[in-house]
Chain A
Amino acid sequence: MSAVAEAPVVLTRSDARSLPGETGMVERPRRRFLPFDPWHLFLAPLAAVMLLPLLWMVVTSLQTEAQTFHFPPILWPGTPRFGNYSEVLGQSAFGTWFWNTTVVTVTVVASNLVLCTLAAYAFARIHFLGRTFVYFVILATLMVPLQVVLIPTFLIVKELGLLDRLGALVVPNLVNVFGIFLLTQFFRTLPIELEEAARIDGASRLSILLRIVVPLSLPALATLAVIQFLWTWNDFLWPLVTILTNQDAFTLQLGLATFQGAHNTQWHLVSAANIMSMLPMIVLFLLAQRYFVRGIATQGLKG
């Protein structure tokens, strides 16, 4: 079932309390002036305002250039012009950008899943020399904002010879401290008896991790994957800084920004490019809403 944005906490109490209309408030009998809940008068316009930029962009992407230069704006182009999309694909390296971003994102997400799981399990369950100290130091790096490390990391990447290449986008992001933090907290909530039983049975740490802990952690891993995917896919600053001249290594965001710069009055094309760039994340969001919401709530509450 695809529940829309399921909040992490159960919405209602499990015994059926019939409160038509309200959950967080006590029901009060009142006369109805309107045939529907008055909050719709706020929520409906709000939804319209939130969706307006997107919808307007879709409309624009289906118009001809002339139609876009019409004022007052034309709200519906009559015959939608899908040709804008193919024109964008033809006139730019959109495919390359898309491919690059996919490769980078998938690699980073996969790498994070592996490395963060390993490290988090060690921090959560294995007592080893220096554990507390190392964990503390690692978490401390989360406090440091991006702009502080921006220049030095650039220099390091330059020294490694990765500048202007996809490697610059992948290597520094192979492990994300936030992911380690998230999974460590999660692993600690699992019942330790399961792992202890396995140790008595003679299993090694690694096989306990793979056969017992990971299967129980799929929701947390999915959440991590989804957040990391979002961050990496939408990242702009880092590609901007490290991919300087090599157009073949442009990511989607970078390419989109350049495209808009090059075609900045051709809104029919820019809109089409924009819609195409947003679709993957929107589709992912619709499919995995639950994990997005959980991810954001965890990001917030644990932060």
Chain B
Amino acid sequence: MARVAFDHVTKVYPGPVVAVDDLTLQVADGEFLILVGPSGCGKSTALRMVAGLERISEGAIAIGDRVVNDVPPKDRDIAMVFQNYALYPHMTVEKNLGFGLRRRRTPREDVRVRVDDVSRLLGLEDLLRRRPGQLSGGQRQRVAMGRALVREPEVFLLDEPLSNLDAQLRVQMRSELKRLHERVGATTIYVTHDQVEAITLGERIAVLSGGVLQQVGPPQEVYDDPANVFVARFIGSPPMNLLKGNATDGCIRLGGVEFRDPQVPEGEVLVGIRPEGLRPVGQEHEGPTLEVGVEVVEPLGDEVLVHGSIDAGPAHVRIGPEDPALLADGEGDRATITLRLPPEERPRPGSRLQVAIAPHAIRLFDPVSGRAIRPT
């Protein structure tokens, strides 16, 4: 097992298209790191560069102690699970599992033992004689994982392995993956576009957008303390509400509400509040409240999502090539925000709510760069 290090890695395609831009990142030995971001953010390209399936334009990638820029995939001691599984269709499951070991001239007895172990681990014993064409999606996915596991490599690479499974199976496999990692403990780099997967699975997550690393850290840290508006809106579902506020003299004004924050710089500021940071209160509540005009109510069973408009401008920030749909909702001077309520509270559309903001739930961002304004 080994660590993986990206050192100012850049990948440029003819065009020119910059798929990965100056990526510097360490993956510790035994760590489960997730690369997450929207389509086209460069996460798959970064993974493939570690695998050796793409050449590195600039910078270096090291696996363990050696720089592997010019080392062919088969000599890097890695294993990869592809999004579409890439199982050899003309071989049985058993042959698929053992292929890599046989290529490396492992003695036949060892191959058998390891294939048996892995198939027991993944519940594939009954399927060994079948061909991939005869398996279900979930079974194929497990065979793909088995093929990687049986090699006992230094690094595991997984490229959106769950995205072709149906929702229920996906949830099931997520916990299985977690269990496997706890048991095997190998260095793993996992790519996904699903931020829920990222938060639940990863020890650390690295958020990418437009080829640039936005933030890296444990999931809770990235959720609680996003480094910029992109991460703020991408991580967390429903996304963080982002509103336009104005700061004068250490006082932020937002839609009729005021907050004190002595360190905030003068001028326009973006205010981010997660849906769970807003609470409807009664008339007698002291302290600043926002008036929300309820528009849509979504009961989810265990909670209720309320979408409504408030008297503050939405934050329209365009930073980089990320999907503008990630940016705030609303038009003109009235932003649409989302609240999370317990399931028994169900306001009627058209009604008005007084909503209090938990002060520790506010995050501030620079309106020009989008970067978080952090307390010093």
Is A17's CB within 8 Å of the partner chain B? yes
Within 8 A of B (CB), among A12-26: 16-18, 26
Interface centre among A17, A18, A26 (most CB of B within 10 A): A18
Given the contacts A27-B55, A29-B55, A16 and B72 also touching, CB distance less than 8 Å: no
Shortest CB-to-CB span from B57 to chain A, Å, is 9
Determine if B54 and A29 form an interchain contact, defined as CB atoms under 8 angstroms apart: no
Residue B15 is within 8 A (CB to CB) of chain A in the complex: yes
| A18 to B54 CA separation, bound complex (whole angstroms) | 7
Whole-angstrom CA separation of A16 from B13 in the bound complex: 7
Q: Is the CB of B72 within 8 A of A18?
A: no
Contacts known (A16-B13, A16-B17); A29 close to B71, Cβ less than 8 A = yes
**Chain A residues near B14 (CB-CB < 8 A):** 16, 18
B73 adjacent to chain A (CB < 8 Å): yes
**Docked-complex contact B72 and A28, CB < 8 angstroms:** yes
Task: Tell me which residues across on chain A come within 8 A of B13, comparing CB atoms.
Answer: 16, 18
By a CB distance below 8 angstroms, the chain B residues around A18 are 13-14, 54-55
Counting chain B residues whose Cβ lies within 8 A of the other chain, the interface size class is: 10 to 19
Which residues of A are found within 8 Å of B69, using beta-carbon distances? 29
In the complex, the answer to whether B53 meets A26 with C-beta atoms within 8 Å is yes
Instruction: Report if B333 contacts A (CB, 8 A).
Output: no
Question: How close is A144's CB to chain B, nearest CB, in angstroms?
Answer: 34
Q: B70 near A: Cβ within 8 Å?
A: yes
A17 to B52, CA, bound (A): 13
Return chain A residues, CB-CB under 8 Å to B73. Answer: 26, 28
A159-187 vs B, Cβ < 8 Å mask (1 yes, 0 no): 00000000000000000000000000000
* CB neighbours of B17 from chain A (8 A): 16
Q: Quick check: B15 and A16 within 8 Å, CB to CB?
A: yes
Of residues 13 to 44 in B, which have CB atoms within 8 Å of A's CB atoms? 13-15, 17
Contacting B at CB under 8 A, from A78-111, are: none
Q: Are B54 and A17 in contact (CB under 8 A)?
A: yes
B74 to chain A, nearest CB (A): 8
With A17-B54, A18-B54, A18-B55 known to touch, is A29 a contact of B72 (CB < 8 Å)? yes
What mask results when residues 56 to 79 of chain B are scored 1 for a CB within 8 Å of chain A, else 0? 000000000000011111000000
Which residues does chain A contribute within 8 Å of B54, judged by CB atoms?
17-18
| Chain B neighbourhood of A16, CB < 8 A | 13-15, 17
Contact with A along B158-185 (1 / 0, CB 8 A): 0000000000000000000000000000
Chain A residue nearest to B74 (CB atoms) is A28
B52: chain A residues at CB < 8 Å are 29
CA distance A27 to B71 in the complex (A): 11
Bound-state Cα–Cα, A30 to B55, Å: 12
- Whole-angstrom distance between the Cβ of A4 and the nearest chain B Cβ: 21
Q: How far is the CA of A26 from the CA of B51 in the complex (A)?
A: 11
A27 to B70, CA, bound (A): 11
Q: C-beta contact mask, B317-340 vs A, less than 8 Å → 1, else 0?
A: 000000000000000000000000
With A and B bound together, what is the CA distance between A27 and B54 in angstroms? 8
Please give me the residue from chain B that is nearest to A17 by CB atom.
B54
A22-64 contacts to B (CB < 8 Å): 26-30
CB distance from A184 to the nearest CB of B (A): 28
A27 and B48 alpha carbons, distance in the complex (Å): 12
CB B185 to nearest CB in A, in angstroms, measures 29
Question: How distant is A113 from chain B, measured CB to nearest CB, in Å?
Answer: 39
Q: Which residue of A lies closest to B44 (CB)?
A: A15
Name the B residues within 8 Å of A26 (CB-CB).
53, 73
| B87 CB, nearest partner CB in chain A, Å | 17
Q: Which residue of A lies closest to B72 (CB)?
A: A28
CB distance from B245 to the nearest CB of A (A): 41
Query: In the complex, what residue of chain A is closest to B51 when comparing beta carbons?
Result: A26
- Give chain A nearest CB distance to B210 CB in angstroms: 16
Extra inter-chain contacts (12) besides given A27-B53, A28-B73, A29-B55, CB under 8 Å: A16-B13, A16-B14, A16-B15, A16-B17, A17-B54, A18-B13, A18-B55, A26-B73, A28-B72, A29-B69, A29-B70, A29-B72
Enumerate chain B interface residues (CB-CB to A < 8 A): 13-15, 17, 52-55, 69-73
The 7 closest A-B pairs by CB, nearest first: A28-B72, A29-B70, A16-B13, A18-B13, A29-B72, A26-B53, A18-B14
Q: List 5 A-B contacts (CB under 8 A).
A: A17-B54, A18-B54, A27-B55, A29-B69, A30-B72
